[in-house]
Chains A and B, each alone.
Chain A
Amino acid sequence: MKQYQCIVCGFVYDEEKGLPEEGIAPGTRWEDIPEDWECPDCGVSKADFEMIEIAATN
């Protein structure tokens, strides 16, 4: 699973953990998150996130 980092505030979206408090289940792939989703910390749009790390997946 991968992690993505917000280029503005540094918030990291971790696919493995998801964001249950926002209704995004653990294991939700980045590409399955709606395009109008915004960074919960700073409001940057999904298009402005960057991938920072690729970990091995099973």
Chain B
Amino acid sequence: MKPITLIGTGLAGYTLAREFRKLDAERPLVLITADDGAFYSKPMLSNALAQGRDPDTLVSADAEKMAADLNATVLTHARVERIDRARRVVVHARGEQAYGTLVLATGARPIRPPLQGDAADEALTVNNLDDYRRFRRRLDDKRKIAIIGPGLIGCEFANDLLETGHACDLIGPDAWPVSTLLPQPLGERLQAALAERGARWHLQDSVIAIDHADPGYRLRLQQGAPIEAELVLSAIGLRPDTRLAEAAGLSVRRGIVTDRLLRTSDPDIHALGDCAEAAGLVLPFVMPIMHAARALAKTLAGEPTEVHYPAMPVVIKTPACPLAVAPPPRDAGGEWRYESDDQGIAARHVGKDGKLLGFALCGDRVKQRMALTRELPPLL
């Protein structure tokens, strides 16, 4: 039997393999990765400094151990060049790999802002363990860090850096931090909490250029005065990595388009995780991957199973101001209602019929997360 072949050994690829092996111990499984194939905790990249952890301690198993545990072949350092659908073969840096069923778990790529300046290319992005190792090496004994993008990842990294004695400037066009997920009062509470720990905010502004300076860099802004920094981190967002799918002629919108069986426009090719757009939803978070992997594992084991998403609040790891948010669906109508005091804010997004459609909690109020989640309708 031709193997199930997976491209990508991030959380989506390995979780799918693990769930599949719970159902089928025999069918050949091949995982192909461009990196070393180590399994690591990605969410912990943004709080490893404060926990005193070196990048290598985030690895729970190397590729060899994963291959043994999963009874699978893991092809490391084998970046995939293209998918040959006619021959049902994946062409990679080390050769060719046949597939019976192919799964794309190629993840997402950081969006890079178009910047001017002679150091524009030196802004670091962190979206995997290798990136993070590079970031920690470059961080070394540097103290002044500029973060472009005051979103979830930017704020988590800022909190981690501030906690460990660094100075942080955060720059972005948003009116408040994490504006794509948080309603304004909670964003402002986070802004104040990080400011109290020394963060300097440059909101409603943009970096237009990064130049070398001595020492480090000078960032030129659209509005404000230039910022000096020894290291620049760019965290303006992620875009599904659809390159292989597109080149293979699969249907792609924001992500690789799949139905609820996580099947792409080619029935022999599936996709899940940050690269996919399942039933119209691009959800680059951990919990949706768990649900998608369990459903797809069943489908691949012979029992076609549609993915169901319950309400899945996102936890933002900013200990200065703990946050949990379940954004209401787009165009949901209704309004935010707030209860707040010194200890935190509970915001409930209530629809016209009085039903809860979303929530956002900060500070002490994050304790209400479980209870409110139970009140929410499922996402899919």
Assess whether A27 is interfacial by the CB under 8 Å rule: no
Contacts of B369 in A (CB 8 A): 21, 40
User: Is B287's CB under 8 angstroms from A43's CB?
Assistant: yes
With known contacts A41-B315, A42-B287, A43-B287, A7–B370 Cβ distance under 8 A = no
Interface residues on B, range: 10 to 19
A43's partner among B44, B60, B291, B370 (CB-CB below 8 A) is B291
In the complex, the chain A residue whose C-beta lies closest to that of B291 is: A43
In the complex, the chain A residue whose C-beta lies closest to that of B11 is: A8
Assess whether A26 is interfacial by the CB under 8 Å rule: no
Contacts of A45 in B (CB 8 A): 290
Assess whether B94 is interfacial by the CB under 8 Å rule: no
Chain A proximity mask over B138-178: 1 for CB below 8 Å, otherwise 0: 00000000000000000000000000000000000000000
Contacts of B43 in A (CB 8 A): 8-10, 42
Task: Give the Cβ gap from A2 to chain B, nearest Cβ, in Å.
Answer: 18
User: Is A9's CB under 8 angstroms from B290's CB?
Assistant: no
Chain A proximity mask over B269-290: 1 for CB below 8 Å, otherwise 0: 0000000000000000011001
Chain A proximity mask over B48-87: 1 for CB below 8 Å, otherwise 0: 0000000000001000000000000000000000000000
User: Is A43's CB under 8 angstroms from B41's CB?
Assistant: no
With known contacts A8-B11, A43-B291, A50-B60, A21–B41 Cβ distance under 8 A = no
User: Is B41's CB under 8 angstroms from A7's CB?
Assistant: yes
User: Is B286's CB under 8 angstroms from A21's CB?
Assistant: no
Chain A proximity mask over B362-380: 1 for CB below 8 Å, otherwise 0: 0000011111000000000
Within 8 A of B (CB), among A14-44: 21-22, 38, 40-44
User: Is A9's CB under 8 angstroms from B41's CB?
Assistant: yes
In the complex, the chain A residue whose C-beta lies closest to that of B43 is: A9
Task: Give the Cβ gap from A14 to chain B, nearest Cβ, in Å.
Answer: 15
User: Is A42's CB under 8 angstroms from B44's CB?
Assistant: no
Contacts of A41 in B (CB 8 A): 286-287, 315
User: Is B290's CB under 8 angstroms from A38's CB?
Assistant: yes
B286's partner among A9, A22, A50 (CB-CB below 8 A) is A9
Task: Give the Cβ gap from A19 to chain B, nearest Cβ, in Å.
Answer: 8
A9's partner among B44, B60, B312 (CB-CB below 8 A) is B44
Interface size on A, residues (CB 8 A): 15
In the complex, the chain A residue whose C-beta lies closest to that of B19 is: A45
User: Is A21's CB under 8 angstroms from B290's CB?
Assistant: no
Is the contact region of chain A dominated by helix, strand, or loop, or is it mixed?
Answer: loop
Assess whether B47 is interfacial by the CB under 8 Å rule: yes
User: Is A22's CB under 8 angstroms from B370's CB?
Assistant: yes
With known contacts A10-B47, A43-B290, A21–B60 Cβ distance under 8 A = no
Within 8 A of A (CB), among B65-119: none
User: Is B41's CB under 8 angstroms from A10's CB?
Assistant: yes
Contacts of B41 in A (CB 8 A): 7-10
Task: Give the Cβ gap from A42 to chain B, nearest Cβ, in Å.
Answer: 4
In the complex, the chain B residue whose C-beta lies closest to that of A21 is: B370
Bound-state Cα–Cα, A7 to B371, Å: 25
Contacts of A9 in B (CB 8 A): 41, 43-44, 286
Contacts of B42 in A (CB 8 A): 8
A42's partner among B47, B60, B286, B371 (CB-CB below 8 A) is B286
Across the A-B interface, give the 6 residue pairs with the lowest CB-CB distance, nearest first.
A43-B290, A42-B286, A43-B287, A9-B43, A21-B370, A10-B44
Task: Report which B residues bind A (CB closer than 8 A).
Answer: 11, 18, 41-44, 47, 60, 286-287, 290-291, 312, 315, 367-371
Further 10 A-B residue pairs, CB within 8 A, beyond A10-B43, A48-B18: A8-B11, A8-B43, A8-B286, A10-B41, A10-B44, A21-B368, A21-B370, A22-B370, A40-B370, A44-B286
